[in-house]
Chains A and B, each alone.
Chain A
Amino acid sequence: MTIHKSGLKALLAATAMGVVVAASAAASAQTLKVVMHSDLKIIDPIWTTAYIVRNHGYLIYDTLFSMDEKLEVKPQMVDKWDVSADKLIYTFTLRDGLEWHDGTPVTTADIIPSIRRWGAKDSMGQKLMSFTKDIKAVDAKTFQLILNEPYGLVLMSLGKPSSNVPFMMPKRVAEGDPNTQLSEPIGSGPFIFKRDEWKPGEKVVYLKNPKYKPRTEAASGLSGGKVVKLDRVEWIAMADLQTAVNAISAGEIDMIEVPPHDLLPVLAKDRNVKLFSANPLGNQYTFRFNTLQKPFDDPKVRQAVTYAFNQKDFLDAVIGDAKWYKECKAMFVCGSPLESTKGWEDRLSSNYNKARQLLAEAKYDGTPIVLMQSTDLQVLTNLAPVAKSHLERAGFKVDMQSMDWQTLVARRTKKDPATAGGWHAFLTSWVSADILNPVMAGFFNSACDKAMFGWPCDEQIEKLRDQFSRETDPAKQKALAEATQVRASEYPTHIHLGQWYAPVAMRANIDGMLAAPVPTFWNITKK
């Protein structure tokens, strides 16, 4: 009986020890719980330009090149590269030890269709492909991009930081139709997508990729060594940001990617939470014209708007705290290599007299401006009433129509007259990393029917964009970017309304987040 009792005690003790060990192992597993700006629904970062899918892409895929914090393009999957003297043949060699998540090696047979799939969808990719004669494998690790004529944006395109990012995928995935969503989310990136734990509307789970071989350089922006210091990242779907703020205060989550600006003071007061401005370039508010519709078909009327607006009023109405915004007239973003105010020095100062004078010269007949206001996105809602006020003070008649963002997104593709379901103008926001040069910035595309909604049609802008894309000398590229910006003051395609920043909120025990235009999850530690 005594033996039985001691045996039972030993068994209980062993069981208890086992439970403790298992519990402490689970506790020591570093899990970062994050509320992102949106739930992940689509998993193909080439099929859509949605930022949440781009962010997902950065976790599980890798890129040939990446942009560092100084906005310089650096090799990522590529070990070494060179370009021929005539600038027509780029030769790239992959790093050693690159593997897909299933353990098979990354080879040029995967890379080439990945570039082609991206090149079929992305606007910069399409431009690169239009200059490309061939992409051919030299061996399993080396391939060549052969151009028809010199193109100045080869590395910038392959190191493009934002949507659509040229992520590399296995051959069997990359060879799929670019217009059909991929179904196998497998990459060679620092995290592995845990598909069986993905519950749309609830959570997305990523595990550390134990086989990932980071570069030896220190992490910088999106480049350098992607050293993962967490075991697991969970994106928790939370539709209500007030709830997210409550949850981070209670310690139920570790991070909110984009906390609302009106709740930043609440978070700033919480000793357990800190705010980190992770994206130094921030975002840019933009007013977009529909150049097909009267009176905005007349550049002079559009110029009048550039004189009527001022950035501060827009930024105050939405962001509020000047700590989180910057007035910036540079169309290629303040803080970027192409920053310049040329052509816009006297604009955006609410010079209503000048605006009225231009309207009189253009013989504006009082046609009401149909201004679309999106009411469901907090970062946009207050922009349209400010625009309406400035336009009216300049002498415009304005018909501001309120709708949800998805209705606006659908309506902005319509070329119909404003009185028949079309539109004259709307306001949106760009991630600055998407508008760093005249080719990348979609609203500069002035190729008439082929341009983005708004359909500007200007030979001069197109010529300048084309020259920019062919130019390989950075100094000349800057001059061409300035010329494009000056031309955009004469033939306005859109107006920038100020740069704004959205800090990441994180618990005080989280460190190591990198300053980059996209939220990164490598280098982060949780104490």
Chain B
Amino acid sequence: MLAFIIRRLLAVVPVLGIVAVFVFLMLRLTPGDPAAVIAGDNATGDQVEAIRAKLGLDEPILTQFFLWIGKVLQGDFGESYFFKKTVAELIVQRIEPTLALSTCAIIIAVSVAVPMGVIAAYKHGSLIDRVVMSFAVFGFSVPVFVIGYLLIYIFAIELQLLPVQGYRRFGEDIGLFLRHMILPSVTVSVIYIALIARITRTSILEVMNEDYIRTARAKGLRDVVVLMRHALRNAAVPILTVIGLGVAVLIGGAVVTESVYGLPGLGRLTVEAVLSRDYPTLQAVILLFSSIYVFINLAIDIGYTLLDPRIRY
């Protein structure tokens, strides 16, 4: 297992290398000029040129790449073109809302979706099954921002139970933190719930026809025990896979949700960096997201061995 983890960690290096090259080239080949953005709409060509030279954007692309990658290898992601702050500082400042949103969304999604999927499978063909599946279709079909606005209208504007927008830090006031996290977390978790509930239902249905389930039932075990101990555990590998893959959906959802709820997280930082062509910030954030994705999938691969002793690396 240790050898496997080391092998996978080493494999992360070329993956991130490819991501780094791809992101760098993609940004440089995209039209737009951060110097023109910084200079503002009324700036003259000379003003734009002066800023471009100051930022080193007048250097050849290869030179810019090697300068950047050299610094990245030393752990220096550079300074944002706009804020007088290092990219690392910006990320530290903005990571908490995104982590909070993702964690809350995963907790809500897993704790709602897995029971939903299990019940739907257990009551296969019943009204409950249809309701769960209808919710899943709804969750897949309705865009995140529509769900967000709908929830804001109902719970913040009409019922005035929760705030429309904003974020309170966990360390400042946990009550306010939770009040501000409820709507965004529910919003972003809807699609995630739909995804996990569907896979849970399908996986459970598949294993319910296996011989060992029949044997368990023949032994006189209660349905709950059969479902939770025998069916769910054997169906868990695809569910875990979907939870891992869903992190990408979560990251995409966070970008939209953070804008709708005014959360100052990494999703918003990404959008701002794209719109203003803040290359150093964007490169670092995409590398960070890629690393998170790679490491979550590594954790899930390790999780397989805990759920299914037959899996060995």
Which residues of A pack against B, CB within 8 Å?
39, 41-43, 47-51, 53, 121, 123, 163-164, 179-181, 183, 199-202, 236-240, 242-243, 246-247, 249-250, 252, 376, 403-404, 406-407, 409-411, 413, 428, 434, 442, 450, 452-453
Contact = CB atoms under 8 A, between A and B. Distances in A.
A200 B93 contact: yes
Contacts of B275: 376, 404, 406
Contact of B164 (A53, A179, A243, A411): A243
Interface string B270-297: 0110011100000000000000000000
Count chain A CB atoms within 10 A of each CB in B43, B94, B269, B275 and give the residue with the most: B43
Interface stretch (B33-41, B207-215, B225-233): B33-41
Contacts of B30: 407
Given A240-B260, A250-B156, A407-B32, A200 B85 contact: yes
B82 A41 contact: yes
A239 B54 contact: no
Contact of B93 (A43, A199, A404, A410): A199
Nearest to B256: A240
A51 B32 CA distance: 20
Contact of B42 (A163, A249, A252, A406): A163
B83 A247 contact: no
Contacts of A163: 40, 42
B40 A48 contact: yes
Nearest to B48: A413
A121 B262 contact: no
Given A47-B38, A201-B264, A442-B42, 15 more contacts: A50-B40, A164-B42, A179-B50, A183-B84, A199-B93, A201-B94, A201-B268, A202-B167, A239-B268, A239-B272, A242-B260, A250-B156, A250-B163, A406-B276, A428-B41
Contact of A406 (B32, B260, B261, B264): B32
B235 interface: no
Nearest to B37: A406
Contacts of A201: 94, 264, 268-269, 272
B31 A407 contact: yes
B31 A403 contact: yes
Contact of A410 (B36, B167, B268): B36
20 contacts: A39-B272, A48-B38, A123-B42, A179-B51, A181-B84, A200-B83, A200-B85, A237-B262, A239-B271, A240-B262, A242-B149, A243-B261, A246-B165, A247-B164, A247-B165, A247-B166, A376-B275, A410-B33, A428-B41, A452-B44
B259 interface: yes
A413 B262 contact: no
A453 B45 contact: yes
B157 interface: yes
A344 to B, nearest CB: 23
A442 B45 CA distance: 12
A41 B51 contact: no
A63 B237 CA distance: 67
Contacts of B264: 199, 201-202, 237
B29 to A, nearest CB: 12
A202 B261 CA distance: 12
Given A202-B167, A239-B271, A403-B31, A409 B37 contact: yes
A340 B163 CA distance: 50
B47 interface: yes
A252 B165 contact: yes
B160 interface: yes
B202 to A, nearest CB: 36
Nearest to A247: B164
Contacts of B166: 236, 247, 252
Contacts of A403: 31
Contacts of B50: 179
B136 interface: no
A406 B48 CA distance: 13
Contact of A413 (B33, B80, B153): B33
Interface string B163-179: 11111000000000000
Contacts of A240: 259-260, 262
B157 A250 contact: yes
B152 interface: yes
Contacts of B42: 49, 123, 163-164, 434, 442
The 10 closest A-B pairs by CB, nearest first: A49-B40, A410-B33, A202-B264, A41-B82, A49-B42, A50-B40, A407-B31, A201-B264, A409-B36, A48-B40
A46 to B, nearest CB: 11
Nearest to B50: A179
Count chain A CB atoms within 10 A of each CB in B38, B163, B165 and give the residue with the most: B165
Contacts of B163: 250, 252
A41 B272 CA distance: 10
Interface in B48-75: 48, 50-51, 54
A246 B164 contact: yes
Contacts of B167: 202
A246 B152 contact: yes
Contacts of A407: 30-32
Count chain A CB atoms within 10 A of each CB in B37, B39, B40, B94 and give the residue with the most: B40
B208 to A, nearest CB: 45
Contacts of A246: 152-153, 156-157, 164-165
Nearest to A185: B84
Nearest to B49: A413
A53 B38 CA distance: 11
Nearest to A126: B44
Contacts of A202: 167, 264
A453 to B, nearest CB: 7
